[in-house]
């Protein structure tokens, strides 16, 4: 009878997620059953955690996996949902893909953009030739969308060798005549995987590519370029890697050193490109993958006045350093462009909330990207306007320049 009631008490405590306090010896906070000691500088062994200096303890219950541990924050602070941007935005990093295929689909794109106050989408889908012509004709045929979508031209990096540059420039000029307003998104495969005909890796700063970048300067086309991927994707996938879950979920994001160049090697090649072509305007996508090191990004922008940066898909790094990110945006307010990357309309409001509020400790929209919460960085209106649309207008003469707020 007595045993049965103890078992019952234990099970009901576990059922509501509480430890069974009654079963524990009472001898002061933090005491109890002890643990294993470690030497100064050592880490606790797997399965245990440091409860006092150099004292490790294992939990009484099996720990949930990182997939299943979803604690609810008890913090209560003012929260402001921001469904629409405060000023009309230009999404410089658009991937509308199939939505530029027909009158109906482009109309549905317009409805989504209206709900977010995104006035203009720049399609960075690397289109060229026939595909670009088809997209432009769908855009031009839409009374509602003809001034609200512009396309970037792609560059084909296969068979780089004698004669390649002339062919590529000819195609680019044709794409500009068809309506392209810039170049991109130059994909991360430039540097990571694309090979030259002799089998060697096509480096980002390969001299055979020089004529195309110079042509972009002559044609006043900004070059939107994505180089490498987050630094952690190049690191060992272990319990210290802050992108462990993402790397475990997506096999194509792993860049082991035996098969890929190192992150720093790609950064060096990209910076050589920026340095070699000072008259060409480059927009480094994803804040050049330095959103986790804004000092380094600031140095890049200071060293290369021809370089701008775009903030798609790095909100998790901006929102976890609200004071530093605020100051960075104020300092470099003329050099940062809004962009979203993957087109998921329900994710844009997280951007508006980070940029426009000083809300605290709220969820990012993708748990596997970030095991932490975000904070608003509360940008001044003048900075919001530059980041949302003015900088993109300035760099890209092909975007309709009238009708924007002052
Ligand atoms: Zn992209």
Separation of 341 CA from ligand 1 center, angstroms?
5
Separation of 393 CA from ligand 1 center, angstroms?
19
Angle CA 38–43–45, to nearest 5: 80
Separation of 318 CA from ligand 1 center, angstroms?
18
Separation of 124 CA from ligand 1 center, angstroms?
6
**CATH code where residue 163 lies:** 3.20.20.140
Task: Examine residue 317 and state whether it is found in any structural domain, yes or no.
Answer: yes
Task: Examine residue 79 and state whether it is found in any structural domain, yes or no.
Answer: no
DSSP H/E element including 122: strand 118-127
* Euclidean distance between CA atoms 201 and 199, whole angstroms: 7
Q: Select from 78, 57, 12 the least CA-distant residue to 362.
A: 78
* Euclidean distance between CA atoms 198 and 176, whole angstroms: 31
Q: CB-based contacts of 213: which residues, under 8 Å, 6+ apart?
A: 223, 273, 276, 277, 280
Q: Select from 283, 352, 346 the least CA-distant residue to 318.
A: 352
Q: Global pTM?
A: 0.91
* pLDDT at 35 (0 to 100): 85
Q: For the chain, what's the residue count?
A: 406
Two tokens, residue 206: 């390969």
Task: Examine residue 62 and state whether it is found in any structural domain, yes or no.
Answer: no
DSSP H/E element including 260: none
Task: Examine residue 336 and state whether it is found in any structural domain, yes or no.
Answer: yes
Alpha-carbon distances, residue 24 vs 8, 10, 21, 56 (angstroms): 16, 12, 5, 18
Task: Examine residue 71 and state whether it is found in any structural domain, yes or no.
Answer: no
Separation of 252 CA from ligand 1 center, angstroms?
15
Separation of 343 CA from ligand 1 center, angstroms?
10
Separation of 5 CA from ligand 1 center, angstroms?
60
Task: Examine residue 63 and state whether it is found in any structural domain, yes or no.
Answer: no
Separation of 16 CA from ligand 1 center, angstroms?
45
Domain count, the chain: 1
At 308, give phi and psi (nearest 5°). -120, 170
Separation of 57 CA from ligand 1 center, angstroms?
45
Task: Examine residue 225 and state whether it is found in any structural domain, yes or no.
Answer: yes
Separation of 372 CA from ligand 1 center, angstroms?
24
Tokens 């809300």 correspond to: 359
Task: Examine residue 60 and state whether it is found in any structural domain, yes or no.
Answer: no
pLDDT profile of the chain (406 residues), mean per 10: 37 38 41 82 94 95 93 95 98 95 97 98 98 98 97 98 98 98 98 98 98 98 98 96 96 97 98 98 98 98 98 97 98 98 97 98 90 96 98 97 94
Separation of 126 CA from ligand 1 center, angstroms?
9
Residue-by-residue DSSP string for 7-69: HHHHHHHHHTT---GGGS--SSTT-SS--EE--TTPPPPTT-EEEETTEEE--SSPPPPTTT-
* pLDDT at 23 (0 to 100): 38
Give the SS3 label for residue 351.
helix
Separation of 356 CA from ligand 1 center, angstroms?
24
Range of the domain at 166: 89-395
Separation of 182 CA from ligand 1 center, angstroms?
14
């Amino acid at each position: 009878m007595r045993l049965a009631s103890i078992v019952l008490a234990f099970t009901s405590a576990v059922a509501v997620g509480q430890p069974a306090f009654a079963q524990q010896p009472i001898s002061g906070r933090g005491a109890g059953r002890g643990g294993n000691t470690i030497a100064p500088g050592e880490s606790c062994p797997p399965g245990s955690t440091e409860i006092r200096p150099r004292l490790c303890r294992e939990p009484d219950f099996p720990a949930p996996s990182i997939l299943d541990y979803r604690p609810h924050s008890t913090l209560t602070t003012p929260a402001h949902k921001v469904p629409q941007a405060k000023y009309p935005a230009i999404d410089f990093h658009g991937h509308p893909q199939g939505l530029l295929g027909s009158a109906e689909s482009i109309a549905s794109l317009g409805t989504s953009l209206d709900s977010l106050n995104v006035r203009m989408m720049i399609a960075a889908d690397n289109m060229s030739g026939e595909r670009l012509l088809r997209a432009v004709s769908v855009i031009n045929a839409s009374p509602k969308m003809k001034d609200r979508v512009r396309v970037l031209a792609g560059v084909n990096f296969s068979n780089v060798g004698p004669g390649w540059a002339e062919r590529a420039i000819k195609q680019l000029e044709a794409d500009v005549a068809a309506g392209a307003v810039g170049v991109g998104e130059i994909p991360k495969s430039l540097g990571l995987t694309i090979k030259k005909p002799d089998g060697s890796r096509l480096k980002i700063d390969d001299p055979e590519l020089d004529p195309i970048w110079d042509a972009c300067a002559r044609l006043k086309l900004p070059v939107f370029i994505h180089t490498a991927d987050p630094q952690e994707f190049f690191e060992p996938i272990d319990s210290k890697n802050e992108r462990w879950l993402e790397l475990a979920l997506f096999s194509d994001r792993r860049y082991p050193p035996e098969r890929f160049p190192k992150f720093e090697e790609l950064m060096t090649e990209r910076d050589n490109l920026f340095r070699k072509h000072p008259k060409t305007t480059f927009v480094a996508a994803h804040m050049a993958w330095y959103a986790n090191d804004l000092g380094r990004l600031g140095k890049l922008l200071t060293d290369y006045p021809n370089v701008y940066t775009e903030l798609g898909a790095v909100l998790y790094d901006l929102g976890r350093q609200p004071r530093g990110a605020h100051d960075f945006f104020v300092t470099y307010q003329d050099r940062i462009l809004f962009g979203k990357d993957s087109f998921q309309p329900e994710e844009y409001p997280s951007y508006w909330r980070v940029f426009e509020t000083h809300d605290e400790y709220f969820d990012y929209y993708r748990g596997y990207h970030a095991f932490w919460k975000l904070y608003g960085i509360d940008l001044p209106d003048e900075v919001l306007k530059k980041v949302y649309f003015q900088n993109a207008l300035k760099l890209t003469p092909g975007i309709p320049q009238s009708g924007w707020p002052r």
